[in-house]
Chains A and B, each alone.
Chain A
Amino acid sequence: MVQSLTEQLDSIRMGITMCFSEVVLSTGILLMLLGGLLFRKKPSTFPLLAFLIILSSLLFFIVQAQQFDVPVKLFNGMLRSDDFSTYLKILFDIAGVLTLAMSWRNQKNHPSEFYALVLAVLLGAHLLVMSMNMLMVFISLELISISSYVLAGFAFTRKGAEGSLKYFLFGSVASAVMVYGFSILYGMTGTLDFSSSVFVEQLLARNSPLVLMAGLLATVGFLFKISAVPMHPWAPDVYEAAPMPVIAFFSVVPKLAGIGVLTKFLLALSLFGQSVYDWQMIIGVVAILTLTVGNFSALLQKNPKRLMAYSSIAQSGFLLVGVVAFMPQGVQFMLFYATVYLIMNFLVFISLQYFESKGIKSIEEFSGTGVQFIWSSVFLLIGMVALTGLPPTGGFTGKLFVFSSLWEAYQLSEKPVLLWLLVFGLLNTVVSLFYYLRIPYYAFIKSGDSQERQNFLTPENLLSLVLVILILALFFLPGMLMGWINKITFVL
């Protein structure tokens, strides 16, 4: 039961070498705060510093890529480094870089704190997808949450403060419910390590409704992070009030981290398929509800930010579809979709931010922008088309993959809920067409006050161009990315 001290020290030392990028991020947070005290006069240094920190974290994965093929338990089983979590971590870091690109010219208020918080969210996300222990899950989830609450208020407006407070209150409730679930699970199993065999055996032995209740309560924390029904209502208010880079960041990093850990946790909860409770059905229903609520609520929105909030809820539903398949392939397709989602979401948000900086804040004001800002409008159009899931974009490929894995799962198990999910998913895709294409509709079809064309060679546009190329490439050459993802083995 008790490890010798030297063994523990050895495992901690090894853990630190494997967690190089997390160590870099942690030191980065401290450096950033320290820098904020010392170089208050030079705000431009902070994005650069943050960029270097994330880049070195990213480089570590690329240089050491082969090291992650074998899952390694770190810190006495608190964390585990494997290729699944590594892939997600790479996505987080890319999202971090894109967020920096969105904010480096616009974040004038408290830059050091802003970047430190962004780094803290990244660190939390890194740790969350590696967690194998409920305690660690909770701590890293709170690291993300608490940093996010503050980030949500970074517009420093009345609305921003309100959104941040709402986010905080809602998040506190979700955390409390989750910890309650965890504690019941711990009480029943005596272990916090949900990957251990003890956990599964104890839950199998104790076949009471309490298991379902505890599991459901524990899942609530993750559903909150990925803003899935019924833990979604915070999203629109927070999105509406927060600055654009922050929303883009929120809609990707915490969401993917939540999905990543949910996938692992669900596998443990369903006791590798042996549970009497049908967790596939539970998550299937959650996915159906999330898709429906997200898409239908988005229909009548007038504010692009709110619209994107509902869109991000709906996209969570699509990501959940990959999880529901409960198959290794489903997880791989989910990862593919997550990658595409990252790119198309940032593409849309970068364009929206550009329009916002030109004073266009509601959907109606987009009238005529197709003429005025032609390139940005085209990029936005492609992003929206990708989010809808139409060819020729990566969004189509992603949805195709996810739904095909769902279809296979249905054929294997013939559970009606999977068929329903498929039907609802396809229907919702059609519904989403209406609101996703409303902005381009205003931009290109409706004519506004004709003004002169404006300068469109901004850094934002160049970045959008790169993302557009990527999203098109993922349609024409999906094998490029899939080949890499296929090497990922998802094990608990």
Chain B
Amino acid sequence: MLMVFLLPLVSCVISFLLTDRYAWVITLTAPLLQLISMIGALIVFFSLSAEPYTLALPWFHIGEFIFSANLQINAVSAIMLVVVTVVSFLVHVYSTGYMAGDENNRRYFAMLGFFTFSMLGIVLADNLLLIFVFWELVGFSSYMLIGHWNQKPAAVNAARKAFIFNRIGDAGFLIGLMIIWANAGTFELRNLLLQTEVFSWQTSATLCIFCGVIGKSAQFPLFTWLPDAMEGPTPVSALIHAATMVAAGVFLLSRIFALYTPEALDVVALIGIITAVLSALSALVQTDIKKILAYSTISQLGLMVTAIGAGAADAAMLHLFTHAFFKACLFLSAGAVIHVLHQAQQQTHTHFDVQDIRNLGGLRKKLPATFFAFALSGSALAGIPFFSGFVSKDAIFTGLWNWATMGTSWRWIVVVSAFLVSFITVLYTFRLVWFMFMGEEKSTQALDVTEAPLVMRLPIIILAVASLWFIITINPVDFNGWLFQILHPGKYFHFNLMAAVSASWVLLALGTAHRMYRTGKNFNVKIFQRAFYLDFIYQLLFEKPVLALASFTDRIDRHWIDGVLHSGVYAQVTLAHIIGWFDKWIIDGSVNAVAATSNGLGSFTRSFQGGKIQLYIFWSIFGLIIFLIWMLL
């Protein structure tokens, strides 16, 4: 287990240590290490017993408080382990093709390894403080990866934005941690989850932690960083969306699910559904491939968070699992399309935005394998029967339905909205597939496009096959398969009517989508396009006042800047004089010191005063050490 955990770090270190000359070695070592790590994860997963396995590692202790860095594997974390390592391995393989020739390959693979390592840390840690540490490491490595092409200002801005948005959420997380510490006196999840009585601040504490989740899992109102983060390399987007960054939030929620009070869960559900609806609507009108996928991720995450809020954490984890595979596949295929089109463009020296779906079309003939994979995983995203997405979505709807029948009437609004989201999901997925692969070729007509290299195609195919229903259950209409049994042992309420309703609902949506987009017409709604102007609102509310304040302080500064500059210059001149004086003194002083030592005891004690501060400090520390040794002996 420890090996699974540490190998990505080893990969990171290797990548950092190698010189540029041997950069090619990394493209071998990094995927290889990930492969071993993945196999280890699979072994861990299949040898999983009912009892959680804990690896006890003492960390440090202050007085009587003992902090441990325990690692724990239970059903949920074992599944996450598999998801993270598998997707990470495939992304590594894919990256060797996608990033070939990039001059900062070393940094890229190092950060990729580090990213995986930190995510595994979150998955395995049994201590909230440790989780927070890895949580921050994930934030940091995502910052590095999103801004990988640091010559692009947009990429740098996006990285910064992602970082700042995450910081806002993490501030909440930190406050939550403090509240938990003040009330429960422990960060050990094992002990925390066993606690039965509710402490007085529990709702606030869990909501504060949820703030961290909002930042990391891109929930309303902090979700606008995720579409911007598309500026990073596409494999990174795949990793962020499928397995690591955003999944961390959902994973954390389900990990500490037992801590949430009913009130807190209601808030979680509401935030989740708002996110799901808003981002689904936004995805409907985007024109950039990756942005559509980004909004769809946000919307799916919103559904998962809603499911957790509705008490169906296991359904959410199931969806997280299936989503990881098909979303990774979607991103990697999109990346393949972008990659090959870019190369084709370079050969023919034509220029258009290859990420804009309005420029694409009819690619199914030129890129059959990619089309096949994209269609499979897109069907999974849309939730068409016989695909994994259908099954896990079914689980979520069942969970929501149960929740709504138990509670007050407003919960039905949530259920209806969730159905609406699933409807819109079909619409935008269909639109995406149709615009890219069907219809007539537009700008790409003249290009000589060939399929992506095998190292890129293979991961895509694997992931596409993993989008089919059988990876989680044998019966394609019953989510209660083998994986769900692990998450939720025992009988689970399931009703077939829901599957039937869901299936027909999706087919209805498919029909609508076909009617709407068959002609290749593009609908554009400004407010959706701009993601409900959230960025604009942020700018108005926070950025402008902050900048105004900054310019105000700047003006004050300017009044003083002259004085500061002058004193700086004076200080430098003084310093220079002192140094000059020192030089003279070192020569003179050493002679004087020799003469003085001969002058008896008085001179001996004084000879420590050579005028040189380094010597003073040296003698003092030396004296201290002598003292210490003398006392200890």
User: Which of B62-70, B132-140, B234-242, B315-323 lies at the interface?
Assistant: B62-70
Evaluate contact between B578 and A230: CB separation under 8 angstroms. Answer: no
A170 touches B574 (CB 8 A): no
A391 at the interface (CB under 8 A from B): no
In the complex, the chain A residue whose C-beta lies closest to that of B570 is A161
Q: Does B25 contact A (CB under 8 A)?
A: no
Taking the nearest CB of chain A, how far is it from the CB of B254, in angstroms? 30
**Docked-complex contact A237 and B617, CB < 8 angstroms:** no
CB–CB B624/A216 < 8 A? yes
B564 contacts chain A at the CB level, 8 A cutoff: no
CB of B430 to closest CB in A, whole Å: 56
In the complex where A212-B632, A213-B628, A297-B606 touch, is A230 in contact with B620 (Cβ < 8 A)?
A: yes
Residues of chain B within 8 A of A457, CB atoms compared: none
Q: A158-B581, A229-B623 are in contact. Are A170 and B63 (CB under 8 A)?
A: no
Chain B: minimal CB distance from A134 (Å): 13
Interface positions of A from 282 to 301, Cβ below 8 Å from B = 282, 285, 292-293, 296-300
Q: How far apart are the CA atoms of A189 and B599 in the complex, in Å?
A: 49
What residues on B are CB-neighbors of A147 within 8 Å?
Answer: none
Q: Is the CB of B621 within 8 A of A233?
A: no
Residues of chain A with a CB closer than 8 A to B602's CB: 296-300
B605 surroundings in chain A (CB, below 8 A): 292-293, 296-297
Q: How far is the CA of A170 from the CA of B62 in the complex (A)?
A: 30
* A189–B63 touching, CB < 8 Å: yes
Cα distance, A393 to B185, chains bound together (Å): 60
- CB of A411, distance to nearest CB on chain B (Å): 25
Complex Cα gap A233–B611 (Å): 9
Which chain B residues (570-606) contact chain A, with CB distance < 8 Å? 574, 577-578, 581, 599, 601-606
How far is it, in angstroms, between the C-alpha of A232 and the C-alpha of B605 when the chains are bound? Answer: 11
User: Could you say which residues of chain B place their CB within 8 Å of the CB of A277?
Assistant: 631
Say yes or no for A473: interface residue by CB 8 A criterion: no
In chain A, residues 54-97, which have Cβ atoms closer than 8 Å to a Cβ of chain B?
none
Q: Does A483 contact B (CB under 8 A)?
A: no
Contact among B185, B574, B620 with A158 in the assembled complex (CB-CB below 8 Å)? B574
CA of A207 to CA of B410, assembled, Å: 63
Q: Is B194 interfacial (CB-CB < 8 Å)?
A: no
Asked whether any CB of chain A lies closer than 8 Å to the CB of B495, the reply is no
B150 within 8 A of A: no
B48-75 CB mask vs A (1 if < 8 Å, else 0) is 0000000000001111110000000000
- Complex Cα distance, B579 from A441, in Å, reads 38
Judge whether B619 is part of the interface by a CB distance below 8 angstroms. yes
Which A190-209 residues have C-beta < 8 A from chain B?
190-191, 198, 202, 209
Closest Cβ–Cβ distance, residue A95 to chain B (whole Å): 26
CA distance A231 to B605 in the complex (A): 13
Find out whether the CB atom of A165 lies under 8 angstroms from the CB atom of B617.
no
Residues of A within 8 A of B182 (CB): 1-2
In the complex, A216 Cα to B629 Cα: how many Å? 11
The answer to whether B624 touches A230 (Cβ under 8 A) is yes
B403 CB–A CB distance under 8 Å = no
Which residues does chain B contribute within 8 Å of A232, judged by CB atoms?
Answer: 620
Closest residue on chain B to residue A220 by CB atoms: B624
**Within the complex, what minimum Cβ distance (angstroms) separates B628 from chain A?**
6
Instruction: Return the chain B residue nearest A313 by Cβ.
Output: B605
In the assembled complex, the Cα of A299 lies from the Cα of B606 at a distance in Å of 10
A212 CA / B629 CA spacing, docked (Å)? 10
With A173-B617, A190-B63, A230-B623 known as contacts, the answer to whether A297 contacts B632 (CB < 8 A) is no
Is the C-beta of A442 less than 8 angstroms from some C-beta in chain B? Answer: no
Cβ of A410 within 8 Å of any chain B Cβ, yes or no, is no
Instruction: Name A160's closest neighbour in chain B (CB-CB).
Output: B574
**Which chain A positions have C-beta within 8 A of B631?**
212, 216, 277, 282
Check if B609 is an interface residue, CB within 8 A of chain A. Answer: yes
Question: In the complex, A51→B613 CA distance in Å?
Answer: 36
Q: Which chain A residue has the least Cβ–Cβ distance from B611?
A: A237
User: In the complex, which residue of chain A has the Cβ closest to the Cβ of B183?
Assistant: A2
- Quick one: closest B residue to A173, CB to CB? B617
Q: Which residues on the B side are within 8 Å of A158 (C-beta)?
A: 574, 577-578, 581
Most buried by B among A173, A191, A198, A277: A173
Contact B578 A162 (CB under 8 A): yes
User: What residues of A have a CB within 8 angstroms of the CB of B401 in the complex?
Assistant: none
Tell me the minimal C-beta distance from B364 to chain A in angstroms. 65
Q: Are A198 and B606 in contact (CB under 8 A)?
A: no
The answer, yes or no, to whether B608 is at the interface (CB within 8 Å) is yes
* Chain A residues, CB < 8 A from B61: 190
Complex Cα distance, B624 from A285, in Å, reads 12
**Pairwise interchain contact A187-B62, C-beta atoms closer than 8 A:** yes
Instruction: Check A169 against B617 for contact (C-beta < 8 Å).
Output: yes
Which A residues touch B185, using CB under 8 A? 1
Q: Counting CB contacts under 8 A, is B533 at the interface?
A: no
Give the residues in chain A near B493, CB-CB below 8 Å.
Answer: none
Instruction: Find the residue from B185, B581, B609 having the highest chain A CB count within 10 A.
Output: B609
Partner of A230, one of B63, B574, B609, B619: B619
The docked-state distance in angstroms from the alpha carbon of A120 to that of B611 is: 29
Residues of B contacting A198 in the complex (Cβ-Cβ under 8 angstroms):
63
Whole-angstrom distance between the alpha carbons of A213 and B64 in the complex? 21
B616 touches A (CB below 8 Å)? yes
Q: Is A166 an interface residue (CB 8 A)?
A: yes
Nearest chain-B residue to A2 (Cβ)? B182
Taking CB as reference atom, which chain B residue is nearest A162?
B578
Query: Which of B574, B608, B616, B622 lies in contact with A161, CB distance below 8 A?
Result: B574
Contact of A166 among B63, B603, B604, B613 (CB under 8 A): B613
Whether B492 sits at the interface, judged by CB under 8 Å, is no
Residues A166 and B65 in contact in the complex (CB < 8 Å), given A220-B624, A292-B605: no
B578 touches A297 (CB 8 A): no
Which of B60, B65, B601 has the most CB atoms of chain A within a 10 A radius of its CB?
B601
Q: Check A234 against B616 for contact (C-beta < 8 Å).
A: yes
A186 contacts the other chain (CB 8 A): yes
With contacts A1-B185, A162-B581 known, is A230 near B606, CB below 8 A? Answer: no
Nearest CB to that of A300 among chain B residues? B602
Complex CA–CA separation, A277 to B628 (angstroms): 11
By a CB distance below 8 angstroms, the chain A residues around B624 are 177, 216-217, 220, 230
Q: How far is the CA of A324 from the CA of B601 in the complex (A)?
A: 26
A162 to B601 alpha-carbon distance, docked (Å): 28
- Which residue on chain A has the smallest CB distance to residue B604? A296
Chain B residues near A1: list those with CB within 8 A.
Answer: 182, 185
| Docked CA distance A187–B63 (Å) | 6
Bound together, the chains give a CA A222 to CA B613 distance in angstroms of 19
Residues of B within 8 A of A36 (CB): none
> How far is it, in angstroms, between the C-alpha of A293 and the C-alpha of B606 when the chains are bound?
8
Residue of B at shortest CB range from A188? B63
A232 to B617, CA, bound (A): 10
CB interface residues, B 296-312, toward A, < 8 Å: none
Closest Cβ–Cβ distance, residue B600 to chain A (whole Å)? 8
Point out the residues of chain A lying under 8 angstroms from B46, CB to CB: none
B632's partner among A177, A187, A209, A234 (CB-CB below 8 A) is A209
Within 8 Å of chain A (Cβ to Cβ): is B560?
A: no
Q: Is A236 an interface residue (CB 8 A)?
A: yes
In whole Å, how far is B205's beta carbon from the nearest beta carbon of chain A? Answer: 14
Minimum distance in angstroms from B61 CB to a CB of chain A: 8
B627 in contact (CB, < 8 A): yes
- A213 and B629 CA atoms in complex are apart in Å by 10
**Which residues of B approach A to under 8 Å, CB–CB?**
60-65, 182, 185, 574, 577-578, 581, 599, 601-606, 608-609, 611, 613, 615-617, 619-624, 627-628, 631-632
9 smallest A-B Cβ distances: which pairs?
Answer: A190-B63, A230-B623, A233-B616, A299-B602, A297-B606, A296-B602, A166-B613, A293-B605, A297-B605
8 more A-B residue pairs beyond the given contacts A230-B623, A296-B604, A300-B603, with a C-beta to C-beta distance below 8 A: A1-B185, A2-B182, A158-B581, A162-B578, A234-B613, A277-B631, A293-B605, A297-B602
Can you list 30 A-B pairs with a CB-CB distance of less than 8 A? Answer: A158-B574, A158-B578, A166-B613, A166-B616, A169-B617, A170-B616, A170-B617, A173-B620, A177-B621, A186-B62, A189-B63, A190-B62, A190-B65, A191-B63, A209-B632, A216-B624, A216-B627, A216-B628, A220-B624, A230-B624, A231-B620, A233-B608, A233-B615, A234-B613, A293-B605, A296-B601, A297-B602, A297-B606, A300-B599, A300-B603
